Amino acid sequence: MTTPAVRVRYAPSPTGQPHIGTVRTALFNWLFARHHGGKFIVRVEDTDQERLVPGSQQNILESLKWLGIQWDEGPEVDGPFAPYIQSERQKLGIYHRAAEQLIRGGNAYRCYCTREQLEQVRTQQREDKVQTRPKDPCSALSHQQRRDREAEGAPSVVRFAMPSTGTTSVQDLIRGEVTWQNEVLDDFIIIKSDGFPTYHLANVVDDHLMDISHVLRAEEWLPSTPRHVQLYRALEYAPPLFGHMPMILGPDRSKLSKRHGATSALEYRDNGYLPEALRNFMVLLGWSLDDKSEVMSLDTMVQNFTLERVSKPAAIFDQEKLLWMNGVYLRQFSHQELASRMLPFLERDLDKRLLPVDMDYLRRIAPLIQERIKLLSDAADLTSYFFQSELEYDSANLVQKGMDQMGTLAAFRRALPVLTAAPGFTHSVLDESLRAAGAELGLSPRQFFGVLRVAVTGRTATPPLFETMEVLGRQRVLGRLHEAIGRLSPA
Ligand code: GLU
């Protein structure tokens, strides 16, 4: 027997910001497709018109692009099974044809009950202590009764007639065999009163028409699976293979939500996380290479992404680990790369008067902060003093412990000629000559360099002082010393 070509899909509903959990689903499907040389398809499931959120589809696609998850078929790229947006597919009549086929075969029926009527039936059955699943009164209507209801123009839905006895099983690729008692499953709706198919019908019809080989989705969809299995059977479609991925929980083991921090991928982008880091972090939410490897290349992920390595227990979302991982990736970058990643954040966060940022300058700043930067959104704060023409700081910070105003002014006056005359404004020359000047004044390096640090950067803690001065350049440094002298000199 030949194994079918791998065709997997990510089928988001555009009902809000793309939650990290659904993006993990996309990532796992994509890695699975890449591992097997198969196709990764994006299909937008927007048949629940009431829950649509404008802009959501765009955000979902943008998250995928940002994370480097390219789809082979789907919106924007199309493909042999276009369109890939269910509301557009609805116009093709495919869901209604499937529903008609089910009705003709006795596997579905029109139901005219209102919500209240059904509630009454259920309450009655509970009172009568009927053990089996409540029967929908419309499942037993005669042809004539149906014709009458239609003639009255009664609104209706189409329900799937679930078998009421026996069991439905699925051999889940991750969870093993899972079995449900049919009597606990209801006659679910497949076409709503607005004429749109429900998720269950549209999902099954499209997975079939799009030749999907594996349905890999989050565990929360497991309860839908017996319904889907029954639909496949009734429609005489060959079912795909199913695999349900573990839930993602917060550190307190409750379902991951806003309470635990950002939950949408784009929020992570805007908060300064790298796509590489988020992708690497997400792959470990329910999959592992060997229980210990954390930071790994995309190639390693693709080469090793098999479902045997996907775990059953829930994965815990650990923000601290993500932050740590982001730092690891930031430190691996070349200076050029780090500078270009920081650029958009500087353009967003720096005072607009300091723009445009000079890329050559930024490339020289990058190594100075590379050890400290944890998020790209820290970039403006970590580097603003390189760009400002006037620093803002408390003049009192210039005066170091054990020194007074006069001593501090003396330190500047000594530093000025040294900095003016330094042959070459490099950190090694500055180090040597300033060290000697400080010693002549009888100041400790901590005092002398402390004075200079505050004057040159406006801060008490910075990257190494001489490297910082070298990048700032002689002119800026001298200007800042004069400015500091002005601040301390009696008016
Ligand atoms: N539209 C469903 C969702 O929003 C798809 C579930 C599935 O993959 O079957 O996640």
pLDDT tens, residue by residue, 372-413? 999 999 999 999 999 999 999 999 999 999 999 999 999 999
pLDDT at position 183 over 60: yes
- pLDDT given for residue 1 in this prediction: 46
Find out whether the peptide bond into 463 is cis, omega within 30 degrees of 0.
no
What is the DSSP annotation of 157-219? EEEE---SSSEEEEEETTTEEEEEEGGGS---EEE-TTSPBPHHHHHHHHHHHTT--EEEEEG
User: Of the ranges 84-98, 132-146, 176-190, which one carries the lowest mean pLDDT score?
Assistant: 132-146
Domain ranges of the chain: 7-88+249-316, 90-245, 333-377, 395-488
- pLDDT given for residue 352 in this prediction: 96
45 lines ligand 1 (CB under 6 A): yes
Cα–Cα separations (whole angstroms), residue 300 to 33, 146, 282, 294, 307: 14, 60, 14, 11, 15
pLDDT tens, residue by residue, 60-85? 999 999 999 999 999 999 999 999 99
Q: What is the band of 260 on the pLDDT scale with cuts at 50, 70, 90?
A: confident
CA-wise closest residue to 200 among 187, 210, 189, 211: 189
Reading the block at residue 137, the tokens are 């009164």
Strands 176-181 and 167-172: antiparallel
DSSP designation for 255: B
465-472 vs 359-369: helix crossing angle, rounded to 10: 180
- Residues 281 and 283: their CA atoms lie apart, in Å, by 6
DSSP designation for 115: H
Mean pLDDT of the residues in the chain = 94
Query: Over pLDDT 70: what percentage of the chain?
Result: 98
Q: What is the band of 172 on the pLDDT scale with cuts at 50, 70, 90?
A: very high
Please identify, in words, the CATH class of the domain defined by 333-377: mainly alpha
| CB atoms near residue 157 (< 10 Å) | 19
Q: Which of 59, 199, 232 to mutate to test the pocket of ligand 1 (most atoms within 8 A of CB)?
A: 199
Does 3.40.50.1950 match the CATH number of domain 395-488? no
Exposure of 74 in the CB half-sphere (CA atoms within 13 A): 25
Reading the block at residue 163, the tokens are 């078998």
pLDDT at position 227 over 90: yes
- Ligand 1 atom with least separation from CA of 224: 9
pLDDT tens, residue by residue, 190-204? 999 999 999 999 999
212 CA to middle of ligand 1, Å? 14
326 lines ligand 1 (CB under 6 A): no
- Residues 234 and 228: their CA atoms lie apart, in Å, by 10
Vertex 249 angle, CA 247 and 251, to 5°: 155
Which residue lies with its CA nearest to atom 5 of ligand 1?
11
pLDDT tens, residue by residue, 307-341? 999 999 999 999 999 999 999 999 999 999 999 99
CA-wise closest residue to 284 among 311, 258, 308, 303: 311
Calculate the CA 452 to chain-centre distance. 43
Question: What pTM did the predictor assign?
Answer: 0.92
Q: What is the CATH number of domain 7-88+249-316?
A: 3.40.50.620
Domains 7-88+249-316 and 90-245 share a fold: yes
pLDDT tens, residue by residue, 116-159? 887 887 788 778 777 666 678 888 888 899 899 989 988 999 99
Superfamily of domain 90-245: HUPs (3.40.50.620)
Q: What is the band of 4 on the pLDDT scale with cuts at 50, 70, 90?
A: low
CA-wise closest residue to 23 among 214, 321, 263: 263
Q: Which of 8, 22, 40, 45 to mutate to test the pocket of ligand 1 (most atoms within 8 A of CB)?
A: 45
13 CA to middle of ligand 1, Å? 7
